[in-house]
Amino acid sequence: MRRPVRNAFLLGLVVGLVVAIVRALRVEGSGPDAVGAGAPPLPRPTPAPQPVEDRVTPTSVASPPPEPSPAPSGPAGPSPASSPTPDEPLPDVVAPVAADPVPDEAATADPAAGTEAATWEEPVDGACPAGFPVKVKESSGIYHVPEGAFYGRTTPDRCYPTVAAAEADGFRPSKR
């Protein structure tokens, strides 16, 4: 017991000395006599000049908006081709959202009734019920088939009737 403790202590001591030496060399190497210390800094890249008409000037920002043209004679109301001016706020458009989504009939069907609407079942006492032989582990995202090497030792989180149903829910096959 004494030997491993002594070796660990000596290793820590050596590592501490190496760190101290490296720090001392870095501090020493950053002085004015250090190699490369007198080199000028690298120039920064300059942005490409913009054309004069693309530049934003304080006078163009502060200029008042143009006067609206006189309304054309014809039907009252805004024309479909007109667009709002930059000073007018855009109307708030909110898409309607359903308060309660309508449940899918396939998802609410009774799985015990034998309909194809049931995509997966909960395992019963760590085993898949009859008609749902594909075992799925949600934590790994892997499904196991009865012919697989680890099927017997897998405790499922879900049981599927077919491989296609398990793959449709995003699970991948076991490699063995």
**CA geometry: angle at 146 spanning 141 and 147, to 5°?**
105
Q: Spell out, as residue ranges, where the chain has pLDDT lower than 50.
A: 60, 102-115
Domain membership of residue 157 as a residue range: 116-173
Give the whole-angstrom CA distance, residue 72 versus residue 26.
78
Residue count of the chain, please give it: 176
Write down the pLDDT at residue 104: 47
Write down the pLDDT at residue 122: 94
Give residues with Cβ within 8 angstroms of 90, minimum separation 6: 84
Write down the pLDDT at residue 43: 73
Phi/psi-derived region of residue 174, left when phi > 0, alpha when psi is between -120 and 50, beta in every other case: beta
**CA-closest candidate to residue 142, choices 176, 107, 116:** 176
Residue 108 lies inside a defined structural domain of this protein: no
Split into its structural domains, the chain has a count of 1
Residue 96 lies inside a defined structural domain of this protein: no
Whole-model pTM: value is 0.36
Write down the pLDDT at residue 53: 59
For 57-88, give the DSSP string: -HHHHHSPPPPPPPPPSSSSS--TT----TTS
Residue 149 lies inside a defined structural domain of this protein: yes
